[in-house]
Amino acid sequence: GQQVMQIPQYQHVQEGEDFTTYCNSSTTLSNIQWYKQRPGGHPVFLIQLVKSGEVKKQKRLTFQFGEAKKNSSLHITATQTTDVGTYFCAGPSGGTSYGKLTFGQGTILTVHP
Amino acid sequence: GAGVSQSPSNKVTEKGKDVELRCDPISGHTALYWYRQSLGQGLEFLIYFQGNSAPDKSGLPSDRFSAERTGGSVSTLTIQRTQQEDSAVYLCASSFGQNGYTFGSGTRLTVV
């Protein structure tokens, strides 16, 4: 079945440093979504990328979708303590554009002040 | 409602007892999903509803797990004869069309 892998599993940074997490799917995706889960909280939707090679920005966060639509990345510039949490990527299963999402195992980000 | 509501927020049950977890999705969201998250782990898919039907039940771990959705709204996840390995946070999410999921705050289930 479809697999979605994320690296790294953990990342510890000093406040102000940049952070990147990478996501790879075993199958081509119609879209990819990113979620953030704060410690003790629930996942919160950040963004959806649909087009091959798409790049979207949200303030200090930059999201990319690969040309082959099998990989994606999330880059945070100048991390802040509020960025702490687990970042998950997720893609629809079975080549569909909706329905069940398969989630990566997440990257846990720790930011030291 | 404004968000996805799950109840109870916490449930401690004895091994072998049955439990029911409830999810009230955002009004108008046709799709509803149940996931499970064990401590420090990722999100494990359980079941997906489109309206009242469940096109994908492939993630239910065993026949002790069942779920239903009525009126295209509230869903109940039932776990019969609970086991210690069932301990986890059970997350419900809803969505409309091709938009992202909105998750509830989850039910933390502890089987003792």
Chain A: give the shortest CA distance to residue B24, in Å.
16
Q: Which of A11-20, B68-77, B90-99 has the highest mean pLDDT?
A: A11-20
Nearest-Cα residue of chain A relative to residue B41: A105
> Rounded CA gap, A38 and A106, in Å?
12
| Binary contact (A100, B98; C-beta < 8 A) | no
Nearest-Cα residue of chain B relative to residue A36: B103
% of chain B at pLDDT higher than 70: 99
Above 60 in pLDDT, residue B1? no
State pLDDT tens for residues A18-74.
Answer: 999 999 999 999 999 999 999 999 999 999 999 999 999 999 999 999 999 999 999
Above 60 in pLDDT, residue A5? yes
| Binary contact (A42, B91; C-beta < 8 A) | yes
DSSP code for A41 = S
List helix spans (H) across A1-113.
none
How many other CB atoms are there within 10 angstroms of residue A72's CB atom?
27
| Binary contact (B98, A101; C-beta < 8 A) | no
Q: How many contacts does A have with B, using Cβ atoms within 8 A?
A: 53
**Of the candidates A45, A70, A40, A69, the residue with the CA atom closest to the CA atom of residue B37:** A40
A84 close to B (CB below 8 A):
no
Q: For residues A54 and A65, is the Cβ–Cβ distance under 8 A?
A: yes
Select the more confidently predicted residue: A93 or A48: A48
Strand A101-103, strand A44-49: pairing: unpaired
Nearest-Cα residue of chain A relative to residue B90: A42
Above 60 in pLDDT, residue B8? yes
Average pLDDT over residues B33-45: 91
Mean pLDDT, all residues of chain B: 94
A48 close to B (CB below 8 A):
yes
Quote the pLDDT of residue B97.
81
Quote the pLDDT of residue A95.
61
Backbone angles phi, psi at A66, to 5 degrees: -65, 160
State pLDDT tens for residues B73-84.
Answer: 999 999 999 999
DSSP string computed for B17-84: --EEEEEE--TT--EEEEEEE-TT--PEEEEEEETTEEEE-TT--STTEEEEE-TTS-EEEEE-S--G
Chain B: give the shortest CA distance to residue A48, in Å.
7
**Of the candidates A29, A34, A23, A30, the residue with the CA atom closest to the CA atom of residue A73:** A23
Average pLDDT over residues A98-109: 91
Per DSSP, the three-state class of A49 is: strand
> Rounded CA gap, B100 and B93, in Å?
10
* A113, two tokens: 């002040």
Chain B: give the shortest CA distance to residue A23, in Å.
14
| Binary contact (A99, B48; C-beta < 8 A) | yes
A56 close to B (CB below 8 A):
no
| Binary contact (B101, A43; C-beta < 8 A) | yes
